[in-house]
Chains A and B, each alone.
Chain A
Amino acid sequence: MNTVIEVNALAKNFGSKRALSDVNFKIEQGNTVALVGPNGAGKTTLFSIICGYLKPNSGTVNILGHDPRSAPLFNKLSALPQDAQLDPKFSVEKQLRFFAQLQGMDKKTALADTQRVLELVDLSQVAQSKTSELSHGMRKRVCIAQALLGSPEIVLLDEATAGLDPKNAKAIRNLIASLKGQITFILSSHDLSELERLCDTVLYLEQGKLSSHQSDLHQTQQGSYITLQMLNLNDEMSQKIAQLKGVTNVKQTQSDELVIEYTEYSEPLDLSLLTLIHKNQWTYKQIVNGRTLENQLFVD
């Protein structure tokens, strides 16, 4: 696999406040990367440095063999910057077509590509509207559309689904999922279940430091954990589950959630677990093979 982004010893200060400190990671081509962290952890700062909006105090960023802001990246790296808006005085189509022309397309191709990306976000009908006439969610989707103009190799989406209604958030997740593999995505979001569904790699930033870099989000050892969500979870249930053969540890992570750790045994644990639930007439909400991203990041 080719490394598309390599960050080494990156640091950024805002006055006396350290926003990023000694951040190192590599992102491989085709990965879908989740950038996670609490508010003020430095996620947007990291996005901004990769996009060339901010200069780091020290360290290096290499994108497809180039420094940020380099001309060879203009048609290859695109982004949805947080809180950035289009000009409210012009129509959506005019602005997107202009962006496409800046990317090197002629007028006709730029118009066709504008219509293509607006269809992707289901907004063809607002092409002639000014952005000031659109709702917050529509503006966000237009901004996502601009990031897909041309054929970008890397797309950074900062809080892409924040502020979108569930239907449109799902549509955007489906869009990203459909483009996975062709494009390297870096997504920042506070919705961990969303990131879990979309991403294969996680960068966890905390107080400007990269405290976790997992590139095997969905490749945990087969059968080592099961996450079980139960209705009316109680101690008796936990104890009975702990007595199943192969179970080495049962941890309650939420009021209705257990993380069951086990070793391989002749009878698959998921089958014996379902049998136990059925025999006791318990009601389960969800069984997840492995641990949720939330548990991986915050419970372990």
Chain B
Amino acid sequence: MNLNRTWLYSQFELTRLFATKRGWLAVTAFSLVWFMVLRYPIYNAVPFLNSSEFEGFVSQLAGTVGLYNLVSWPEAELAIFWVIALFTFPMFSVFVTADQTVEDRNRGTVRFLTLRSTRFELLLGRFFGQVLILAALIGLVCVATLAMMGMRELDLVSSGLPKTLAIWAKLLITCLPFIALMSLLNLVTNSARMSIVFAILFFTIIASVITYIGDVYPMFAFLNYVIPGHHIADVTGWQNNSNLSLLIPIIQAIALLGVSQFILRERDL
């Protein structure tokens, strides 16, 4: 595998978002949506979370759902952002990364590319390109959240910075198997839209069946590890021992890319 060619593919993906009008429109729309989320749900929830009046109730509620550590954060904006982002970014990444190779394959553009690089370099380069795009978008919202918190209380920025970095990294790692799943679905469907449909079917029907089988027959509970996002419940509460769970999405992403590579190697273009 040639790393230079792989990196060239990743760079080209970045220009798709940041060097085209369509890309900038998408970034603008994304920013506006998150502006609304920060301005209303998060901004308005912070006083409630910090209020001494509701402290007992909030702690009790948070403790029930395993978020006790989070409500103790003085950086309340980051805590709320973390919970919202953890459940929205994975599905958002499914939509953003829905076209990695499928449209190029339909158009025949892949034929020009595979005369100049291996199929695996194309697959991996496009995957990392999407990871970089997600990293940029998540980073953008993280910085915005940090800025909003700094406007409320500037002293919290220094203690919030490491937490922001950790949130950025954990969110990105969480998104990895979702991006890799779209890499795979791009190879077995004929359009980006069909890839999204298949992803939705996977997360509704197949994931439900797997969860049901795991519940009824505990010996098959390990199958849950196949589902991207399975670790989310483990990391939501920011427990001290939860970082090990972040290995799950990394392994899932590697496995999905492995399957994708096998399919791409064998399939006709």
Contact = CB atoms under 8 A, between A and B. Distances in A.
Contacts of B266: 55
Given A102-B5, A102-B117, A55 B111 contact: no
A51 interface: yes
Interface string A224-262: 000000000000000000000000000000000000000
Interface string A83-114: 11111011000100011011100000000000
B115 A79 contact: yes
A114 B226 CA distance: 45
Nearest to B116: A102
B107 A87 contact: yes
Contacts of B269: 48, 53-54
B22 A53 contact: no
Contacts of B108: 81, 83-85
B107 A85 contact: yes
A278 interface: no
Nearest to A89: B20
A251 to B, nearest CB: 43
A103 B119 CA distance: 14
B153 interface: no
Contact of B112 (A55, A77, A84): A84
A98 B8 contact: yes
Interface string B3-15: 0010010001001
Interface in B81-118: 104, 107-109, 111-118
A101 to B, nearest CB: 6
A53 B111 contact: yes
Interface residues of A, number: 30
Contacts of B117: 74, 102
Given A84-B107, A101-B8, A89 B16 contact: yes
B112 A86 contact: yes
B114 A55 contact: no
B109 A85 contact: yes
Interface residues of B, number: 24
Contacts of A75: 116
A271 interface: no
Q: State the main secondary structure of chain B at its contact with A.
A: helix
Nearest to B118: A71
Contact of A87 (B8, B104, B119): B104
A52 B266 CA distance: 11
A5 B170 CA distance: 51
Contacts, number: 65
Interface string A53-74: 1110000000000000101011
A188 interface: no
A184 interface: no
B2 interface: yes
Contacts of A103: 116
A132 to B, nearest CB: 11
B112 A52 contact: no
B112 A146 contact: yes
Nearest to A49: B268
Contact of A77 (B8, B22, B115): B115
Contacts of B119: 69
Contact of B114 (A69, A85, A101): A69
Contacts of A71: 2, 118
A189 interface: no
A55 B266 CA distance: 8
Contacts of A94: 15
Contacts of B112: 81, 84, 86, 99, 143, 146
Contacts of B111: 51, 53, 79, 81, 84
A73 B117 CA distance: 10
A73 B118 CA distance: 11
Contact of A53 (B8, B20, B114): B114
Given A48-B269, A51-B111, A77-B115, 9 more contacts: A51-B115, A54-B269, A69-B118, A71-B118, A73-B115, A74-B115, A85-B109, A86-B109, A89-B16
